Amino acid sequence: MTRPFIPCLRSAAAALLATLAITAVPAVAADAPPANVAAEAIGAGLVQPGNNADAFRDARRGQDQSITFAAPADRVLIQSEGEAWRQMRNGPITEYGGWALVVVFLGLVVFYAIRGEIKLEDKRTGKLMERFKFIERLAHWSLASTFVILALTGICMLFGKHLLLPLIGHTAFGYLAWAAKNVHNFIGPLFFISVVLMVVLFLRDNVWQAIDALWIRKAGGLLSGEHVPSHRFNFGEKTWFWLGVVFLGLMVGGTGLILDFPLFGQTRQDMQLAHMLHSGGAMLFVALSLAHIYIGTIGMEGALDGMKTGYVDETWAREHHEYWYREARGERIPDNAPRPGHKPSTVH
Amino acid sequence: MARMKFLCDAERCIECNGCVTACKNENEVPWGISRRRVVTIADGVIGKEKSLSVACMHCSDAPCMAVCPVDCFYRTDEGVVLHDKDVCIGCGYCSYACPFGAPQFPQEGAFGMRGKMDKCTFCAGGPEEDGSQAEFEKYGRNRLAEGKLPLCAEMCSTKALLAGDAAEVANIFRERVVRRGGSGADTSGWNTAYGKGSMDADMKAAETGGAK
């Protein structure tokens, strides 16, 4: 087996240094009294025959370990970072992640019980407006389907040991988890591609606009029931886009690729870091997605139509995205438009 | 019941890799897997160079066991940490958590897909019937069941690598330390594998007859 070039160079340099040290030592020893040399050496923790504590302490800290091994993972004696990863993964990521899911889910149940489905106020006109083009729906549903598969298989990997294994036993759970891992690893790259496509297609209409300030002030009218005007996407949708799709999507997808393809010299530390960002980010992503799925399906009348068929009723468009509706009808909405009434009115 | 442990004496290890070879041969370890490796720290630095043979340390509080998503690890009555390859899914988490780089994975298929994890078994096989062909093919030889110690330690030419009951191993090492006049605070890996103040705590545990 050929040794890699750099370790070779390093050992050569070490050998050179060692040679220099051998030739230099007698000269130093001749100048200084022997007692001083011994005292200095003890101070430096060098002389104490048979005591390797210093050497191993350094090794534990990851210092002074010129270890000759081909695989990067094997170049340390004791990998202390593993313990930190274990604490994070078995601690906060599992606990807080699990509670985040439960809390968001229960929150939505309570919200639904209080608020119910957000109905359209006026009758449907029967006239339809195109809200999402085919390619946009393709990107959304490919992201949505891969997301759901990844979420379920990922949850199986993180919580299955505690929830499912006691019920079905080691052998059955072993097969299930094996399938989950492989599905997760093969679907992952498709998810990443969907995220990128989604970001490209939806970026322009998710740029923040002046009217978003109103949505923030009124908390979207979610509790009051008031309709807050917005362009094509309101601030809630934009937040889901930027925080969910862009930030969490790219982070969870990107770290997933690092974990999925351990072929590029990743060290165990790289994998630990990638895994913490991946699973932590994914738990937040899944928790937030529950709210998105809720409002896109049972939470709001007519919301699913847009993504399902590509078209929404004009009444829905007017009530939920007033500026977008008026722009589509040929009106021009200035950036600093005064807050209009709830019924569409002519600006000019 | 004995508490099985490895200990490598850095004052004796000469980096001959005999233990690595013994392990590979005895257990017919698959290509690409090294259950044991010899690590040299401060290689080539005169007076500081130390070599150690490292494998699974069969930790008291084993990180691999704690992070395994399918709970495929188990501990024998003798304190040996083993795993069930039929349950293992090859996720790699044990290798992220292990301080000693013990868990290894054969590459199976494209894109770096991992096969079932493989690691040092303290020559104690796996969950299959002791000494069976199935056990040998998956985990290697079950020497412990035959009343023998791991071959790596048995074959060590300088008796640097010790394996066996914690009390025995600690006594041998302690005698050496006393003869050398050192402090004995150099049992590398023991603190990591068995917790703080390991020597005394484990001596006590061995005497009172039990691992945690």
Give the Cα-Cα-Cα angle A274, A292, A257 (nearest 5 degrees): 20
The yes-or-no verdict on residue A158 having pLDDT over 80 is: yes
Indicate the pTM of the whole model: 0.81
Report which listed range, A56-60, A252-256, B5-9, is most confident.
A252-256
Is the CATH number of domain B4-200 3.40.30.10? no
Tell me whether A184 touches chain B (CB under 8 Å): no
The answer to whether the Cβ–Cβ distance between A74 and B101 falls below 8 Å is: yes
> In terms of Cα–Cα distance, which of B161, B151, B156, B110 is closest to B28?
B151
Tell me whether A47 touches chain B (CB under 8 Å): no
Tell me whether A177 touches chain B (CB under 8 Å): yes
CB nearest B41 (choices: A77, A158, A171): A77
Q: How confident is the model at residue A336 (pLDDT cuts 50, 70, 90)?
A: low
Domains and CATH numbers, chain A: 5-74 (no CATH), 81-328 (1.20.950.20)
Segment B36-53, tens digit of pLDDT: 988 888 778 887 788 889
**Lowest model confidence (mean pLDDT) among A27-36, A231-240, B187-196:** A27-36
The answer to whether the Cβ–Cβ distance between A14 and B189 falls below 8 Å is: no
pLDDT above 90 covers a percentage of chain A that reads: 64
CB nearest B182 (choices: A48, A171, A261): A48
CB nearest B186 (choices: A21, A56, A263): A56
Domain boundaries, chain B: 4-200
The yes-or-no verdict on residue A255 having pLDDT over 80 is: yes
The yes-or-no verdict on residue A27 having pLDDT over 60 is: no
Using alpha carbons, list the distances in angstroms from residue B29 to B32, B65, B106. Answer: 9, 22, 10
SS3 A315: helix
Task: Tell me the mean pLDDT in the region A161-183.
Answer: 95
pLDDT recorded at residue B196? 56
Give the count of beta carbons closer than 10 Å to the beta carbon of residue B79: 24
The answer to whether the Cβ–Cβ distance between B97 and A261 falls below 8 Å is: no
pLDDT recorded at residue A157? 95
The answer to whether the Cβ–Cβ distance between A50 and B181 falls below 8 Å is: yes
ipTM over 0.90: no
Q: How confident is the model at residue B180 (pLDDT cuts 50, 70, 90)?
A: confident
Average pLDDT over chain B, rounded to an integer: 87
Task: Tell me the mean pLDDT in the region A241-257.
Answer: 97
Joined tokens for residue A113: 């019980």
Joined tokens for residue B83: 């795993």
The yes-or-no verdict on residue A75 having pLDDT over 80 is: no
Residues 245 to 274 of A: which have CB under 8 A from any B CB?
Answer: 260-263, 268, 271-272
pLDDT recorded at residue A7? 45
